[in-house]
Structure 1
């Protein structure tokens, strides 16, 4: 269930998950302190996001006295893999080549990106 829920993490919820992937377990206050101040989120907003993520089954908590400590149930790599697969399936018919072609056609690949892709293709051919 956690893998399917991971694909439904919103952009705002992802900000909370990134904090927890970097350092967990954390209290809601710890998370709020680590969220980018440019978001302008109150402690209540962070608690709302934590509640949503708990309901989706991607977070767990444990009681520590009068406070809750939150930790991810989904690894970042698993979330990235699921989200990437969903994007490729939805927009590119499940094929990676059209995604790369789209990025190339729109000048979204740097010289470093191209070199990394070439190295990856060489490695895959071995």
Structure 2
């Protein structure tokens, strides 16, 4: 799967939340703070279709769009890319980095401990 930009990820997130959608429906669901024009959203949809991350099918005079990549698969791939690229492939280095930088709250550390305990680690 090709990499996608942050802007493309916003559009893809809309489709993960609900699909199939028309381009206009995607435009209406993109967060307001983005302040993107309808043309911008349509361009992002076209890029995602070209990258084979989103499919489109005719529905009368419009197209319906749906994701071809599951959110979980995308998150797993991007997480692995981050860990491989910045932390030498070792997730423990990511966690250590966050702890050392005080990026994790006590509640988040407790959640990690509970998760590890549940996994039998």
- What TM-score bracket applies, with the shorter chain setting the length? over 0.9
Match among 46, 50, 67 for residue 62 of structure 2:
67
Match among 75, 81, 102 for residue 97 of structure 2:
102
Q: Distance in 1 between matches of 2:84 and 2:119?
A: 21
Instruction: Calculate the aligned-residue CA RMSD, in Å.
Output: 0.9
Normalised TM-score (structure 2): 0.96
Q: Distance in 2 between matches of 1:44 and 1:112?
A: 43
Runs (4+) of structure 1 moved beyond 6 Å?
Answer: none
Normalised TM-score (structure 1): 0.93
Q: Which runs of 5+ in 1 are unaligned?
A: none
Higher relative contact order by CA 8 Å / sep ≥ 6: 1 or 2?
Answer: 1
Aligned residue number for residue 117 of structure 1:
112
Query: How many correspondences in the alignment?
Result: 121
Q: Which stretch of structure 1 is more off in the superposition, 105-114 or 59-68? A: 105-114
Aligned residue number for residue 29 of structure 1:
24
Q: Secondary structure at the match of 2:55?
A: strand
Q: Distance in 1 between matches of 2:53 and 2:107?
A: 34
Match among 38, 42, 55 for residue 43 of structure 1:
38
Q: Distance in 2 between matches of 1:119 and 1:22?
A: 29
CA deviations on 1:25-76 (whole Å, 9 max, x unpaired) are 0000000000111111000000000011011110001100000000000000
CA deviations on 1:83-124 (whole Å, 9 max, x unpaired) are 000000000010000000000111110122111110122123
Q: Distance in 1 between matches of 2:14 and 2:27?
A: 9
Q: Distance in 2 between matches of 1:29 and 1:47?
A: 8
Q: Which stretch of structure 1 is more off in the superposition, 17-26 or 111-120? A: 111-120
